[in-house]
Structure 1
Amino acid sequence: MKKLLFALLISISAFAQIDKVEPPFWWNDMTHSDVQIMFYGKNIAQNEVTVSNGIIIKGIQKTENPNYLFVTIETKNIPAQDFVFTFKNGKKSFTQTYSLKSRRENSRFRKSFDSSDMMYLIMSDRFANGNPNNDNNDALTEKADRTKDNGRHGGDIEGIIKNLDYIKELGATAVWPTPLCEDNDERGSYHTYGQSDVYKIDARFGTNEDYVRMSAELHKRGMKNIMDYVTNHWGYKHWMMNDLPTYDWLNQFPGFKQTNYKMTTQFDPNASAIDTKNCMDGWFVKSMPDLNQNNPLVLNYLIQNAIWWIEYADLDGFRVDTYSYADKQGIATWTKAITDEYPNFNIVGEAWLYTHAQIAYWQKDSKVAAIQSYNSNLPSVMDFMLQGILGGGVFNENKGNWNEGVTKLYDSFTNDFLYPDVNKILLFAENHDTNRLNEVYKNDFKKYQMAMTIIATVRGIPQVYYGSEIGMAGDKGKGDGDIRRDFPGGWNGDTNNAFTKTGRTEEQNKFFDFTAKLFNWRKSKTVIHNGKTTHYIPENNVYVYFRYNEKESIMVVVNNNEEKQTFKSNTFQENLKNYKSGKDVLSDASFDLKNDISIEGKSVLVLELK
């Protein structure tokens, strides 16, 4: 009896060595079949490791930290099953069960987001509080306090799920919530870009199972789930920070050095080596330790974590934060590994730059990057050039001079030749880091209409920032909290519930109805999704362009002049051809194309040609 009790105590003591297993499980029939499992626990590396069921261990890697052990197994042609790792140190041993699960049918060839979609960006903590019971968590430091602009307000996954019908009614087909993984910073944790556990949904948002359920609810509605993924950094409260696997798991100088933010150093042929290094390896801010993707262990960890979330949560795409700050070769390898596993999977990267060539550099098969024999493998980039124009106040410029007004839009689109695939560019007038569109234009409905019409009808994938569709504003000059206000109606006790038509004000309904009409019309318009474009040099601050294919043609007229403008339709005969009339999608008014066309000041026409 004493021997049995002694053996049991040894087993319990030894088993306690394993505090973390990542990834927590894997799947069979994966292209990424060599799975590197990280075991973490007190002196775990002192053990010899074997595995049951004929599973082959292809490699065991130890680091200078004995609390980590990286074990690579081969899962190719292995059926879904549970198997057992045995850890032995002398006469002491313990076991750890690991699961290989079955993949969803056709998981590898899942459809991702594309130019037929409209993406709805949600600041997760500020959209809707569907479950007030999870606002606070004993294991997490920051508590909910709606009086603080930069505090946690309680928005959660349940709030998103409860309002998916609202988002669908708006015309959105894909949802991009800001990161939902755990962020245990003492302040500003609602932001969630400084994550403390990348395998775990933040308990104040819900559970991993809630996130899977959100995906399923989106898919029931024919909508897509886009995960906001961070490859460049973690939060300084990440569980590894007090016990790093290796010193060079992070970029250290030693310790903290802030990036110089000069992303141009990543392709500038004249850049100094130190400037290039400080941009790429420097920390975004002190509370966000910079991951070293040049370390093979780190890179593989990030690859496997990304694939795990896609497979586990049935994801439809990634938006990758601060894409161009990561190690150039490392992030290209990461991206290729994801798209090798899922050939149709779309990933849009944030490369916040303000020249077309610099943005185009980061798109897959870029002609610009090819000059330096570089390929990011990134399918989609964000059109910060268009955002800078729309969000920079272009519709406040009433004079159509050589380089003012809508001429800026025309000039921007003349650079489309730089992009390998213009239909995969993400279009937006604003996001969670920029000034609010309705702040820039002081809630001028006509100017809002102009901006939304542009992103809905030019090439690429439109993205709308939550709340703009009801006229929400916010001044970045007052701090980020002001551009991330709570959506009215998302909290118990809100007097204005903008999620329902009867709960919205007359002004909110005006914004919503227009936005919903525009983007629901866009859903079925393949001519917008992948048609060709011809545009004309603006005159009198009026910009005209056509989207067309072999079957149909759309004529878009943007009048940025304060005055009504009239022009002869035969100016555009090259595109009008034999079309006789046009019906405006927005007003249902019809236009005889044999006559002059008039358009009111500060307005748009979207004409379906007949």
Structure 2
Amino acid sequence: MKKILYTLIFLNTLFLAAQKLERVEPPFWWSGMQRNSLQLMLYGDDIAGYTPEMEGIAVSNVRKTENPNYLFVTIDTKGVAGGEYTLRLKKGKRQVAEYTYEFREREEGSALRKGFDSSDVMYLIMPDRFANGNPDNDSAPGLAEKADRSKQGGRHGGDIQGIIDHIDYIHELGATTIWSTPLLEDNDPEYSYHTYAQSDVYRIDPRYGTNEDYRRLVDALHEKGMKLVMDYVTNHWGAEHWMIRDLPTYDWIHQFPGYANSNYRMETQYDPNASEIDRRYCVDGWFTSTMPDLNQSNPLVLDYLVQNAIWWIEYAGLDGFRVDTYSYNDKEAIAQWTRAITDEYPYFNIVGEVWLHDQAQIAYWQKDSKIGALQDFNSYLPAVMDFTLHDALGTVFDEDEATWDQGMVKVYGNFVNDFLYPDTDNLLVFAENHDTHRFNHIYDGDASKYKMAMAILATVRGIPQLYYGSEIGMAGNKDKGDGDIRRDFPGGWEGDEQNAFTEAGRTERQKTYFDYTSKVFRWRKDTPVIHKGRTKHYLPENNVYVYFRYDDTATVMVVVNNSAESREIDGKRFAESTGGFTSGKEVVSGKTMALDTIAIPAKTAWILELE
């Protein structure tokens, strides 16, 4: 009888354990981290009525909220060795649940990992539209939206395996780093493919693969000397996130009460004349009704986001973050988040999406900005996106006739304002991304204009970013919907009529685009003067822009003729940059050209290595 009774008690304890402790996040951690404490989020029915203990580790704080299904337990981790530790929940002396918490050993050199920098070329992928490497995971049990490639805004089935399968293609293109739009679970009933409305931030969406698949992607890239940047979202989660469905605290998200949309006026973050209500609706307003706005000024939320970011860096071996809607976050809180990441990983790089159209306003958000310092603000954000260059590239190549403010003077003027930035090498430069018109749509598939843009991106200061498919001439009109600028890459799906991942599968037009892109960016990869060299440029004349990248060992001359006719340039004007050089070898054609007089065809860019 006693044996039966003890068995029943044991089974009852197991039942309670399963019932009372549904989630622990982070699910495990690492020994030897710089942070000496860890905030564990415990979740389960009425869990707040229990007392947490951890075998061999001190519990320094227990925070209960108005929702009894949560406990936030802070433990001291200084000196904690790798191994397993038992976390127990007790009611008086009775144990009602336990969890085996693991501290793993860090990989050697983890803290000093080197992020992406100006020697890199970033390739932006939307995984659902790139390649379907595993058709078996196109739909997943428990997730609402099923695959339907016929829908522009539906799930098409691209996945992590599809990226792994085509790393060689990306490498051949000259890219060294992949920026993938988010891969974490998004359980929205429709339009979930973009994955910016996440429903579980510790889980790769099963329609993309598994957490282990994500690690395999990083490992495969590292084997090729390449890097992976995670698209991290701090500003909002999706309405279907399990914590949004059962909020830990009322102020976990911004409420008005309930929903109010952002006014998207990021300038209210630094405008000295801004009204408080305008600032609030920018920062606290929701990006859309399906993306509740996270309250980073709540310390529980901020710690959760910091630890989640560090967890993914350590778990997957990441090389950088691109942070979505960076300037919509509470600026002081997001600065704390950013500093916490870079304190843990001092050489890790983070680029923030700061979608503004004025260099001073963009520069405000870069680490150690003198503009930000005027308001005693430092974002600690190493890199920002050069949206003003993007704006110029999106109009300038249709401006055949130069005027005071039209033509190549727009590009020249962008670099005139480089004095505003603390670190011009840490600017992401691009002609398009997943939220804009495709470059080849703007210019109606004119390859000569595409080549001029790529020549500029490949040679100016900063970190160039390419958008998947444009290197084979893909176009897309945002006015027709986001799906049109996020088309499937031809050859990424079994049964596609054409496979543009292979040379043999490309049309002649696609070869024109790919061959030029590959040529200039593979050259760039092996040309240090472009990575860290200085810049000297000359006022455009007759819509021709000339600039030099140079250091103590090499000089590169770039000539961009944006006019509709050929131009003859007197090389004497550039004597202070050409010095003792007499000729230059053009990177793409391989031809050697004299520098005294340069005759360049219409709508052409030349990259000359001076000799």
Under a length normalisation based on structure 2, what TM-score does the superposition of the two structures give?
0.99
SS class of match (2:536)? strand
1:570 aligns with one of 557, 569, 572: 572
Written as runs of structure 1 = structure 2, the 5 A alignment for 1:20-35 is: 20-35=23-38
Shift of 1:59: 1.1
Shift of 1:60: 1.1
Distance in 2, matches of 1:96 and 1:158, equals 33
Per the alignment, residue 66 of structure 2 pairs with: 64
Residues 496-542 of structure 1: per-residue CA shift (max 9 Å, x gap): 10000011111111111111110000011111001000000000000
1:166 aligns with one of 164, 169, 178: 169
Distance in 2, matches of 1:489 and 1:454, equals 29
Whichever residue aligns with residue 114 of structure 2, its letter is K
Shift of 1:10: 2.3
Whichever residue aligns with residue 503 of structure 1, its letter is G
Mapped contact 1:257–1:282 kept (Cα < 8 A): yes
Residues 1:604 and 2:605 are matched in the alignment: yes
Residues 1:112 and 2:115 are matched in the alignment: yes
Shift of 1:591: 1.0
Per the alignment, residue 561 of structure 2 pairs with: 559
Per the alignment, residue 311 of structure 1 pairs with: 314
Residues 536-569 of structure 1: per-residue CA shift (max 9 Å, x gap): 0000000000000001100000000010000110
Shift of 1:329: 0.6
Residues 182-235 of structure 1: per-residue CA shift (max 9 Å, x gap): 000011000100000000000000000000000000000000010000000000
Written as runs of structure 1 = structure 2, the 5 A alignment for 1:285-434 is: 285-391=288-394, 393-434=395-436
Whichever residue aligns with residue 169 of structure 1, its letter is E
Shift of 1:258: 0.3
SS class of match (1:242)? coil
Written as runs of structure 1 = structure 2, the 5 A alignment for 1:101-500 is: 101-391=104-394, 393-500=395-502
Distance in 2, matches of 1:124 and 1:19, equals 31
Runs of 4+ in structure 1 over 2 Å off: 90-94
Residues 1:82 and 2:84 are matched in the alignment: yes
Distance in 2, matches of 1:316 and 1:58, equals 32
Mapped contact 2:88–2:95 kept (Cα < 8 A): no
Residues 565-586 of structure 1: per-residue CA shift (max 9 Å, x gap): 0011000001011011101001
Distance in 1, matches of 2:125 and 2:38, equals 33
Per the alignment, residue 7 of structure 2 pairs with: 5
Written as runs of structure 1 = structure 2, the 5 A alignment for 1:514-533 is: 514-533=516-535
Distance in 1, matches of 2:477 and 2:317, equals 36
SS class of match (2:288)? coil
Whichever residue aligns with residue 609 of structure 1, its letter is L
Shift of 1:92: 4.4
SS class of match (1:556)? strand
Alignment RMSD, CA only? Answer: 0.8
Distance in 2, matches of 1:210 and 1:33, equals 30
Mapped contact 1:328–1:376 kept (Cα < 8 A): yes
Per the alignment, residue 103 of structure 2 pairs with: 100
Mapped contact 2:529–2:555 kept (Cα < 8 A): yes
Residues 1:39 and 2:31 are matched in the alignment: no
Mapped contact 1:14–1:92 kept (Cα < 8 A): no
Distance in 2, matches of 1:466 and 1:559, equals 26
Whichever residue aligns with residue 84 of structure 1, its letter is T
Under a length normalisation based on structure 1, what TM-score does the superposition of the two structures give?
0.99
Residues 26-70 of structure 1: per-residue CA shift (max 9 Å, x gap): 000001230111110011111112111x21111111111111111
* Count, aligned residues: 607
Shift of 1:116: 0.1
Mapped contact 1:488–1:498 kept (Cα < 8 A): yes
Residues 75-114 of structure 1: per-residue CA shift (max 9 Å, x gap): 1112101010111113343211100000010100001000
Mapped contact 2:239–2:245 kept (Cα < 8 A): no
Residues 250-293 of structure 1: per-residue CA shift (max 9 Å, x gap): 00101100011000100000000111111000000000000000
Mapped contact 1:183–1:196 kept (Cα < 8 A): yes
SS class of match (1:49)? strand
Q: Which moved more, 1:1-10 or 1:479-488?
A: 1-10
Distance in 2, matches of 1:338 and 1:473, equals 37
Q: Which moved more, 1:32-41 or 1:337-346?
A: 32-41
Structure 1 unpaired stretches of 5+: none
Mapped contact 1:10–1:92 kept (Cα < 8 A): no
Whichever residue aligns with residue 212 of structure 1, its letter is R
SS class of match (2:202)? strand
Per the alignment, residue 589 of structure 2 pairs with: 587
Shift of 1:5: 3.0
SS class of match (2:484)? helix
Whichever residue aligns with residue 194 of structure 1, its letter is A
Distance in 1, matches of 2:546 and 2:297, equals 48
SS class of match (2:493)? coil
SS class of match (1:464)? strand
Shift of 1:12: 2.2
Mapped contact 1:567–1:596 kept (Cα < 8 A): yes
